[in-house]
Amino acid sequence: MSDLKRSLKELEQHGWQREETFEIPHGPCCSFAAPGGHRIALYQLARPEAGAHFEGRFDF
């Protein structure tokens, strides 16, 4: 079992609700709604080389 899958399972056991699972350049990602209503995303760094593509980039 991957680290991400293990972490997702643990969060769900504590009442977090999984929303979406998707891919980002760095690896698989999943968004959650926390019990208090906050939203977060958790990802596994499966492609660390992807970070070099974004170096020096400003998206704001």
- Helix H or strand E encompassing 22: strand 17-24
Per-residue pLDDT of the chain (60 residues; tens, 9 = 90+): 688 889 989 988 988 888 999 999 999 999 988 778 888 899 999 999 998 988 998 887
Beta-carbon contacts of residue 48 (< 8 Å; ≥ 6 apart): 26
The answer to whether residue 25 sits within a structural domain is yes
CB 28 within 8 A of CB 41: no
What local confidence, expressed as pLDDT, does residue 22 receive? 94
The answer to whether residue 56 sits within a structural domain is no
Q: Which domain holds residue 34?
A: 3-48
Structural domain total, the chain = 1
The answer to whether residue 32 sits within a structural domain is yes
